[in-house]
Structure 1
Amino acid sequence: MTKPFRRPKKRGPAPQTDKRDQYLRLMAQGMSNSAACRELGINRRTGTRWRYGRKEVDRTGRERIYAPITEQPDDGAISPRFLSEDERIAIADMLRTGASLRAIARELQRSPATISREVRRNRDPSTGTYHPFRAQRRATVRRARSKEGKVRRDSELKTYIQLRLNQRWSPEQISQDLRTAFPDEPERHLAHETIYQAIYLTYRGGLERLPDTLRTGRQARRRRRRADQRATRFIDPGKLIHQRPADIDGRQVPGHWEGDLIVGQGNRSAIGTLVDRTTRYVMLLHLPGGRTAEHVRDALIDVFADLPRELARSLTWDQGSEMSRHDEFTAATGIPVYFCEPASPWQRGSNENTNGLLRQYFPKGTDLSSYTADQLDAVAAELNNRPRKILGWQTPTELFAKLVATVD
């Protein structure tokens, strides 16, 4: 008799070792089960099972008993993803023979970055010699340290970071700003990844994560995936992007803008977005009457009428039907319009990035017609006053103001 086909069971998530250790510490401090679970972000029943153990009966009627979790002795075993003592000895031997870091990485089947970081951390500053046993002792000490992160231990630093998160600064912007705010305190200079971990691992970082703290709004980290490409709806391509003058591609001359629409609930409302390719300065188009070609044309004419000619040289858009009257816009303003190739949003990279930032203020599914022109100006001002890495941590407002003063 043929046995019925059964799908293989999916493996569950890896054991939450760090959370279990933290749970034990919180309980030892006298915290209640509910409070400890709330602190760690786990279900209260999970904490109860960890504390008292559990009993389960499988399909065959066999009873299985899982004991309560307890402090586990350190037997010296470490995860294979960390360098072992034997590997550190091999690194030292190969360095003495003159092997390169990449050759060592290939031999040990490790990332070159792992070997480079290991050698850099544990070289003798005076002689340049790598000491494997000293490196192993330091690694053992680091593993035994508290799992509580830097942000949680430093209340002043935590408050400083939380304030900027509430202002919708990105972790990378905050990381760079810490170097300016605490120039003589290198222990408070954090990598942006440390801030991300403090946000997503509440029991380590203690930062409050509101729904719109981060631009993505996601509750858990995940792998990046390629965004879906948009289909073009523009029939007459007009001047295509490869016809633009070469100085536009170099981003050295201001006044070349990229534009697009972000649409609201049911595609019934929209906001126009414009960003200068050189300064990343953002302007938003108020479209209360709709997003037809006539509405977009009139809004563009109005917004560019307030700019000096030197700061309104060209406009690059995708092939959306809202720009079907681009020739009328050009006739009224003298500003040429260039269109991206179909399904090529990356050709307007600055604008696509800006639209992503704006979704933190205008989530998908929102009725965008409910926003006033003043509210849009306030959002644009907040974006323009953020320091940008691409600008050497200056703000778009600072750079754009200098240009306006120059042409005036």
Structure 2
Amino acid sequence: MDFEIRENRTGGGGRRLTREREVYLRLMSQGYGNAEACRIVGVNRRTGKRWRHGHHSPTYGKPKPPISAGSSTAGPSRYLREADRIYIADRLRENASIRQIAAELGRSPSTISREIRRNGALWRGKDWVYRPHAAHRRAEQRGPRPKAGKIGQNPELRDFIQQHLTLRWSPEQICQALRTTFPDRPDMHVVHETIYQALYVQGRGELRRALTKALRTGRTMRRPHRMSYKRRPRNIPDKVMISERAADAADRAVPGHWEGDLIIGKDHKSAIATLVERTTRYVMLAHLPDGHNAAATRDSLVRTVESLPPHLRRSLTWDQGSEMARHTEFTVATDIPVYFCDPGSPWQRGSNENTNGLLRQYFPKGTDLSRHSREDLDRVAAELNSRPRKTLGWETPAERLAKLLATVS
């Protein structure tokens, strides 16, 4: 690292340690640890942590946000970049004039003067200093111009989105429906992130905040994905692993391969069995009014699949839940072999996992699922099977299954 620690780093406010910050960030991006990077640039390890994480309770002034790496200097730019502001701060520390700095950066002197005047600050209320990282943050905060979003400017678009959110359509499904319904009107086209921001970003108010409850998660605030956890392996007799499943099930080319699981209710006392056909994403729900032990699950699944034609009874893939301990009896009754996923591998039955997420809009976590009747489950399954799906080319599962049945007949 070709870097020499400056002997004289005294001065006011942000004029100090400007080069050290830049080198510190570069070292961290190259994989150096905090202690080693701080040793190289000659600062305390606590200073490095504050640069990376911010200082939330300083002895004076407002909390300091983390510093960010300088933007790329490749190519010309109409606006000053963070690297330019760092250069200005260094040259000011060296007592260079405004015109000298402007000539070296290839800018107008008025640009440099205006930058220092707009983004400088008073150091402890008496000395005027220029702090490049804080100046860059101020410039970025002033950059966006407040204006109404596309949804807020178009009442017809807003009403269309709100109507379909009420029907529990996902934002991506709504965006595709807009393109299908209004193919020649770009003003009625948005991307799904626009809808999410209209719901979640405070202050926009383009969509009713109450509509967040109609989203799949029902959350009023966005939340990052959780880390997956490993389940304890269960001893299921005579189980056949997914690695032995027929190859035609993996590519989804042949219909009749199903994925299944339970969605659990409050205190693990109630449940609903879910079945999803891998090719069409067709959903079937099995009623479990008498509990979800192995015998009850077996009997309910047998009743659910008995209406299926033989060519749609090729296999069933389940996780290693104890509710399928009597899978051999289910196979004897229905002629459907059962295969089990590897431990902690829910992606091996991803269609069913996705469907269970959809079903949580109707059967929220922490509620008693036993209060739902067989008719309630049929109604929910019919509603899901009539939703357009991106993976099906925006056809519905019911339409895709009807085509398959018509082809076979």
TM-score with structure 2 setting the length: 0.65
Structure 1 position 143, deviation (Å): 5.5
Q: Distance in 1 between matches of 2:333 and 2:357?
A: 30
Match of 2:293 in 1: 292
TM-aligned CA distance change 1:397 to 1:238, over 3 Å: same
- Per-residue CA deviation, residues 156-194 of structure 1 (Å, 9 max, x unaligned), is 100000011111111111111111111111122111111
Match of 2:149 in 1: 149
Q: Is the 8 A contact 1:148 1:205 kept in 2?
A: no
Q: Distance in 1 between matches of 2:273 and 2:184?
A: 44
Match of 2:281 in 1: 280
Match of 1:334 in 2: 335
Q: Distance in 1 between matches of 2:151 and 2:69?
A: 25
Match of 1:214 in 2: 215
TM-aligned CA distance change 1:267 to 1:144, over 3 Å: closer
Structure 1 position 390, deviation (Å): 0.7
Q: Which entry has the higher C-alpha Rg, 1 or 2?
A: 2
Runs of 5+ unmatched residues, structure 1: 1-7, 14-57, 65-78, 92-106, 109-139
Look up the SS of the partner of 2:209 in the other structure. Answer: coil
Look up the SS of the partner of 1:204 in the other structure. Answer: coil
Structure 1 position 301, deviation (Å): 1.0
Number of positions where the alignment pairs a residue of Structure 1 with one of Structure 2: 293
Match of 1:178 in 2: 178
Match of 2:258 in 1: 257
Look up the SS of the partner of 1:198 in the other structure. Answer: helix
Match of 1:315 in 2: 316
Runs of 5+ unmatched residues, structure 2: 1-49, 62-66, 85-139
The 5 A counterparts of 1:337-356 are 337-356=338-357
Q: Distance in 1 between matches of 2:214 and 2:56?
A: 30
Structure 1 position 388, deviation (Å): 0.8
Match of 2:203 in 1: 203
Q: Distance in 2 between matches of 1:215 and 1:326?
A: 31
Match of 1:225 in 2: 226
Structure 1 position 221, deviation (Å): 1.7
- Per-residue CA deviation, residues 352-388 of structure 1 (Å, 9 max, x unaligned), is 1111111111111110000011111111111111111
Q: Is the 8 A contact 2:320 2:343 kept in 1?
A: yes
Match of 2:245 in 1: 244
Structure 1 position 81, deviation (Å): 9.7
Residue identity matched to 1:295: A
Match of 1:98 in 2: none
Q: Is the 8 A contact 2:229 2:344 kept in 1?
A: no
TM-aligned CA distance change 1:192 to 1:12, over 3 Å: farther
Q: Distance in 2 between matches of 1:156 and 1:173?
A: 17
Structure 1 position 202, deviation (Å): 5.2
Match of 1:395 in 2: 396
Structure 1 position 227, deviation (Å): 3.0
TM-aligned CA distance change 1:223 to 1:311, over 3 Å: same
TM-score with structure 1 setting the length: 0.66
Q: Is the 8 A contact 2:213 2:220 kept in 1?
A: no
Which moves more between the two structures, 361-370 or 221-230? 221-230
Q: Distance in 1 between matches of 2:310 and 2:247?
A: 19
